Chain A
Amino acid sequence: MREIYAAPLPGMNLAEMPGKLIVIEGTDGVGRSTQIRLLRPWLEQQGRAVLDTAIKRSELAGKGIQQAKEGHTLGRITLSLFYATDFADRLEHEIVPALRAGFVVLTDRYIYSLMARAIVRGADARWIRNVYGFALKPDATFYLRIGVDDLIPRVVFSRGFDYWESGMDIHPSEDMYDSFRKYQAELLTEFELLAKEYNFEVIDATADARMVFEHLRAGVARVLSGEPREPLFSVATPAGEVPEATSKKVLEMPTPVKPAASTSEEPAPAVQALAKAAEGDTKR
């Protein structure tokens, strides 16, 4: 039985999603898409069907967001909600059907990047968590960690600074470099908080792409084998704590279980959510 953060979407049955939902998170330019390009053929060679998805790829809202961003007239709350629309469309029309069909879903960013961006732009942290309360909890979230100093040369010598990735909408008086630095530092701070709260598996992304891939591959292999999480990645976290060794394992329940028995982390809302989910598919 899959879990979600708060209340499920109408008609979403959380049972029977045998696929795996694997999230690759990290800031702009850290190399997420490179890693997904490497992971996909590796998984396919092993006979695993893969769906990869990313922000703005929804049929419904992808184009609309692109157009709205070109105008630079997008308000901060509007931008957050436009992204949420895109996410919901992909969740219902791509991610969930793929998980039902037993695919490995590799998602280039998930709700966490969207939350971090919104919070850095002044959104209320509680508000944005509520917005994404219907998201499925992933089987694993691999966070490609990098510091601003290591990030800058990568961005400069590849695609250059981008208006939105530099947070020019919130630091309009700065030049691109100063703004990028400031904005990315804010984002990275937010990512660290999210990493802790959502129990990310941290991978040191300052290493070369091949090394990062080795780590990632080991992590993904472990998720697919259903083994519990181990402290594979001995990257020290800034606050001095070590990524947690256990938990986070998503159990494949043989039969639907009573809501109260299936979760122990979040008492009231999660139980409610699961109780509702147990009512099952009504509309689809």
Chain B
Amino acid sequence: MKRYGEHRFPGKLFVVEGIDGSGKSTQLMLLHQWLQAEGYGVVFSEWNSSPLVRETTKRGKKKQMLTPSTFSLIHATDFADRMEHNIIPLLKAGAVVLCDRYIYTAFARDVVRGMDPQWVRELYSFAVKPTAAFYYRVPLDVAMKRILDGRSGVKFYEAGMDLSLSEDPEESFGIFQGRILDEYEKMVPEFDLTTVDATLPIEEQQTYMRQIVKAKLAQAKRLRVAP
């Protein structure tokens, strides 16, 4: 079994991380558009999207039967399925793979839920190391405002309601996100995350992201993709 490390596949892997409301998904979508226009074979993979595991995760969330351990393991199962069937074959084929959330999301959430930090890191040691991992750093109040303005409410696990932090979902969400933010900050040096100031204008952030991606793609081949 290959363990976490630099992969030698011809493809490239870029991932975005950050708390909800950091704007990371918007940035990844803009990057995706640009890479496609540049003629790269680009594939997008989203956190928690494996069809094999979906029903189980849905059930666990709906019935609120997930504990920190099963929450962690079911997400790792989902990730493993995408890694084995999707990400690795695509990297072997020379694709540019874009992931909205990666193992760092699990490290942050699971540790906040009380799982042992070393255990979670070892759990995901089958993952390949990204070519670059962008961390969208945003102050908690800014992210909270973005999220709560745009939505009618937050879901049970999203708000960390399983941790009994507060009876009020919004308050629980704030405390939970604040703790996740602390975990992300600890990971910046540990995993050499590329930090982006997510309070800057969207275009400025995108320009910075494209510069870094472009430098990493210098040797990558372009695939002719049918328009």
Interface, chain A (partner B; CB < 8 A): 6-7, 9-11, 59-61, 63-64, 67-68, 71, 73-78, 80-82, 84-85, 88-89, 91-93, 122-124, 127, 130-131, 133-134, 283
Closest to A89 in B: B70
Which residues from A are CB-within-8-Å of B115?
9-10
CA distance A123 to B123 in the complex (A): 12
Kindly state the separation between the CA atoms of A210 and B73 in the bound complex, as whole angstroms. 39
Known contacts being A11-B114, A78-B84, A123-B1, is A60 close to B55, with CB within 8 Å? Answer: no
Q: Which of B15-23, B30-38, B58-66, B171-179 contacts A (4 or more CB under 8 A)?
A: B58-66
The 8 A-B residue pairs whose C-beta atoms are closest, nearest first, are A10-B114, A75-B84, A64-B56, A7-B116, A85-B73, A81-B77, A78-B80, A124-B1
The smallest beta-carbon distance between A64 and chain B, in angstroms, is 4
Assess whether B125 is interfacial by the CB under 8 Å rule.
Answer: yes
Q: Cα distance A225–B99 when bound, in Å?
A: 55
Known contacts A10-B114, A60-B56, A78-B50; can you find 18 more A-B pairs with CB under 8 A? A7-B116, A10-B115, A59-B65, A64-B56, A67-B55, A75-B85, A84-B73, A85-B70, A85-B73, A88-B67, A89-B67, A93-B65, A124-B1, A131-B123, A133-B119, A134-B69, A283-B163, A283-B164
B44 interfacial contact with A, CB 8 Å = no
B83 adjacent to A60 (CB under 8 Å)? no
Q: Tally of A-B residue pairs with Cβ under 8 A?
A: 112
Given known pairs A60-B66, A85-B73, A134-B119, the reply for A77 and B1 (CB within 8 Å) is yes
Assess the A60–B164 pair: CB atoms within 8 A. Answer: no
For the complex, count residues of B whose C-beta is within 8 A of A: 36
Residues in chain B within 8 A of chain A (CB atoms): 1, 3, 50, 52-53, 55-56, 59-60, 65-70, 73-74, 76-77, 80-81, 83-85, 113-116, 118-119, 122-123, 125-126, 163-164
What are the residues of chain A within 8 A of B116 when measuring CB–CB? 6-7, 133
Contacting residues, chain A, for B69 (C-beta < 8 A)? 9-10, 88, 91-92, 134
Q: Does A85 contact B74, Cβ atoms closer than 8 Å?
A: yes
Give the chain A neighbours of B163 by CB distance below 8 A.
283
Given A82-B77, A84-B73, A92-B67: A77 touches B126 (CB 8 Å cut-off): yes
Secondary structure dominating the interface of A: helix
Q: Contact between A77 and B3 (Cβ–Cβ < 8 Å)?
A: no
- B3 shortest CB reach to chain A, Å: 7
In the complex, what distance in Å separates the CA atom of A61 from the CA atom of B58? 11
